[in-house]
Amino acid sequence: MVVISEVSVTEEFPDIVFSYGYSDEYSFVLKKTTRFYQRRASKIQSLVVSFLTSVYVTKWKEFFHDKELRYPPSFRARVICCASIEVLQAYLSWRQNDCHINNQHATCFHELVKHGKTEKEAQQYLKESGKKEKHDLLFEQFGINYEKLPVMVRQGSCILKTETEDIVKYNESGAPVKRLRRKTSTVHSKNIVGKSFWNLYPKLLKELGGFVDDIRKIEPDYIRSFLWEAKLLPSTWIVIRIDGCHFHRFSTLHEFVKPNDERALNLMNSCAVGLLEEFQDLVFAYGVSDEYSFIMKKDSQLYQRQASDIVTAVVSLFTSLYVTKWRDFFPHKELKYPPSFDGRAVCYPSSEILTDYLAWRQVDCHINNQYNTCFWELVKSGKSKIEAQNILKGTQTPEKNELLKQFGISDYNTLPVMFRQGSSVFWDKEDITPEHENGTCNGTYRKKVVVEHCNIIEPDFWNSHPSILNLKP
């Protein structure tokens, strides 16, 4: 199933020309000249991991017919820049060697446990053992020839694009007309960085280059020197903002109600609740339309404040929740294709700047919703989209309010508050103590995540919820 998900990722993003993976890990190689999202690491890694997560969840039933997905899976990702073809060769060799070492160890471990040893005993038994000792153990004690195990588990899987000639039509004389087509295929090789394997695929040589020499010895420390990780500033609020990818198209194909679909907004809110419940360091979230901002507390050490881990973990889980919860909000609507989101992390050093950020997002919510309400009322009345845009061009709030009156909306502020002010998600206290006969209680509470639609621009909100962020603007 993992391979199928990765094939979908490779097909979705044309600049990915080669992929290698095993177990729950995959490496996607983009061509050196790629301008994919202007080479912004946060965009690239969040979009790829989000789409992979989405495909993984949507395809689960195809491979596990009788198994329910018990909880939403998620993945983390990072971008690694290989300075030369030799570094790429070393990196891929390192990952395939890791595949062999891990699989051989796991096979021995599970055979030992299966035949009566405890997990601790099995770990101790395999401690300090090398490849040959593990190979002999499998053959002599369990009758397993390691080289006969499925090639995919021993060598991992490569996904690459090849060019083949396909018949696209027949001319008037009946002769076939052929065109070169790019196809994605999955292959397995004992040595994916050997010249003999690489030379089999001219497309790889053209887009990535060829290997000059075969690798004899792997130096993991040399490769790890390229795994540079950006850490977010300490003692600052971390805001992870996610946005739907091409959600105009997504909302159109899935026939969302315009300008606001309450079901879609509540689906986003439900996903945000799930994230706060999963990541205890997330203390507040604000969302509107297909966008959500998650605030992580200042002293958080989640993933050692590594930007890539934090962003991709949040984006991946949000995507996973979106797909798994889709049926709860759209019970009669099939998900036509896997949705995806991108994300980024920004650090804010003070409470004042953080609340300014949130105020900006809520003001943006109001501006966009008022415009969209006017726009779609005009379209419903018979105007074309271009005509509606021209009518609204340059108009301010008073003019839009007057326009809405023409469509029976006498007061913009009577529209649902969720549409006008967005949604705020945060931890709150719930009184769970039953009231005694005399009307008193002993003040027993539990924390829960709540969704509210309120004005977060005014200081009154923060003053009435001092425990959320300890903010006092």
Q: Where are the domains of the chain?
A: 1-39+81-226, 237-424
CA separation for the pair 237, 350 (Å, rounded): 7
Structure tokens, 375: 């726009």
pLDDT higher than threshold 70 for residue 201: yes
Own/partner contacts of 326-333, CB < 8 Å, gap of 24 or more, are 326/267, 328/267, 328/270, 329/263, 329/264, 329/266, 329/267, 329/270, 330/254, 330/263, 330/267, 333/254, 333/255
CA separation for the pair 108, 137 (Å, rounded): 8
Instruction: Please write the tens of the pLDDT for every residue from 302-325.
Output: 999 999 999 999 999 999 999 999
Compute the average pLDDT of residues 392-404: 94
Predicted model pTM: 0.91
CA separation for the pair 50, 57 (Å, rounded): 11
CA separation for the pair 110, 104 (Å, rounded): 10
Q: Where are the alpha helices (DSSP H) in 143-209?
A: 151-155, 195-198, 202-207
1-39+81-226 and 237-424, same CATH topology: yes
Instruction: Please write the tens of the pLDDT for every residue from 132-180.
Output: 999 999 999 999 999 999 999 999 999 988 766 666 677 777 777 767 6
Q: Pick from 196, 192, 207: which is nearest to 159 by CA?
A: 192
CA separation for the pair 238, 345 (Å, rounded): 7
Q: Is the peptide bond before 338 cis (omega within 30 degrees of 0)?
A: no
Q: Which residue has the tokens 């096979």?
A: 107
Burial track 39-61 (b if 16+ CB lie within 10 A, e otherwise): eebbbbbbbbbbbbbbbbbbbbe
Residue 12 vs residues 15, 91, 166: alpha-carbon distances, Å:
9, 24, 21
pLDDT higher than threshold 50 for residue 473: no
Instruction: Please write the tens of the pLDDT for every residue from 10-39.
Output: 788 989 999 999 999 999 999 999 999 999
Superfamily of domain 1-39+81-226: tRNA(His) guanylyltransferase (Thg1) (3.30.70.3000)
Looking at residue 472, what is its pLDDT? 46
Confidence band, pLDDT 50/70/90 cuts, at residue 468: confident
Compute the average pLDDT of residues 360-378: 96
Q: Which residue has the tokens 């005509």?
A: 387
Residues 6+ apart with CB under 8 A from 87: 223, 226
Looking at residue 270, what is its pLDDT? 98
Q: What are residue 50's phi and psi, to 5 degrees?
A: -65, -45
Burial track 403-415 (b if 16+ CB lie within 10 A, e otherwise): bbeeeebeebeeb
pLDDT higher than threshold 50 for residue 1: no
Residue 78 vs residues 41, 99, 457: alpha-carbon distances, Å:
8, 19, 35
CATH of region 237-424: 3.30.70.3000
Structure tokens, 352: 């004042």
Looking at residue 129, what is its pLDDT? 92
Q: How many CB atoms neighbour CB 176 within 10 A?
A: 11
Compute the average pLDDT of residues 111-127: 95
Q: Where are the alpha helices (DSSP H) in 144-256?
A: 151-155, 195-198, 202-207, 220-224, 247-253
Sequence letter at residue 289: S
Compute the average pLDDT of residues 339-364: 96
DSSP letter at 416? Answer: -
CA separation for the pair 437, 338 (Å, rounded): 54
Instruction: Please write the tens of the pLDDT for every residue from 40-78.
Output: 999 999 999 999 999 999 999 999 999 999 999 999 999
Burial of residue 466, with CB atoms counted within 10 A of its CB: 0-12 exposed, 13-18 middle, 19 or more buried = exposed
Structure tokens, 155: 């060598």
Confidence band, pLDDT 50/70/90 cuts, at residue 342: very high
Half-sphere exposure in the Cβ direction for 34 (13 Å, CA): 19
Q: Pick from 317, 330, 310, 188: which is nearest to 256 by CA?
A: 330
CA separation for the pair 183, 11 (Å, rounded): 9
pLDDT higher than threshold 90 for residue 6: no
Secondary structure class of 426 (helix, strand, coil): strand
